[in-house]
Structure 1
Amino acid sequence: MPEAREAWRKSSFCGNETECVEVALGGGRVRARDSTDQAGAELAFSAAAWRAFIAAVVCGELEVS
């Protein structure tokens, strides 16, 4: 766990309040969680891995529902 907690931000693509993703940026990494279960599990990615994931989504390489 980081010493100082990064601020969580909700996805701008959140269409309804029950299916949202939040991300926190800092320390060279990106953390992601389900906004409806803030005490639940988090996924952590390196900044480079997160950029590659976002690029794949934007380019249509991944199916997004």
Structure 2
Amino acid sequence: MPLLSSEWCESSYSGQNGECVEARSVARGLDVRDSTAFAEPMLTFSAPAWTTFLVGVKAGVLDAGPRSPHRCR
């Protein structure tokens, strides 16, 4: 998701089912929120934390499956 300004951008993976994630670039890193719940708190990640999260997602660290050693319980 390219972020060129501090405007909220919807994920290109968000579909028409109402389950959307939006993000915006800010001085301290990246804000992420549920686009259907503006009143709810957003998450703020530093740039290094967001990069670490993306690396983990791409590596399958957060997958909830029998072969995942890091499965949430």
Runs of 4+ in 1 over 4 A off after TM superposition: none
> Greater relative contact order: 1 or 2 (C-alpha under 8 angstroms, separation 6 or more)?
1
Count of aligned pairs between the two proteins: 60
Q: 1:25 to 1:17 in 2, by over 3 A?
A: farther
Could you tell me how far apart the structure 1 residues matched to 2:28 and 2:44 are?
10
Q: State the TM-score, normalized to the length of structure 2.
A: 0.71
**What's the RMSD between the two structures over aligned residues?**
1.9
Distance 1:63-1:34 versus aligned 2 partners, 3 A rule: same
Structure 1 counterpart of 2:42: 42
What per-residue deviation string (whole Å, max 9, x for no partner) do you get for residues 14-55 of structure 1?
123411110011214110000111232111010100010011
Q: Secondary structure at the match of 1:56?
A: helix
* Structure with more of its chain in strand, by fraction: 1
Q: Which amino acid aligns with 1:47?
A: A
Unaligned runs of 5+ in 1: none
Distance 1:26 1:17 in 2: 27
Same amino acid, percent of matched pairs: 38
Structure 2, unaligned runs of 5 or more: 65-73
Higher Rg of the two aligned structures? 2
CA distance in 2 between partners of 1:30 and 1:44 (Å): 6
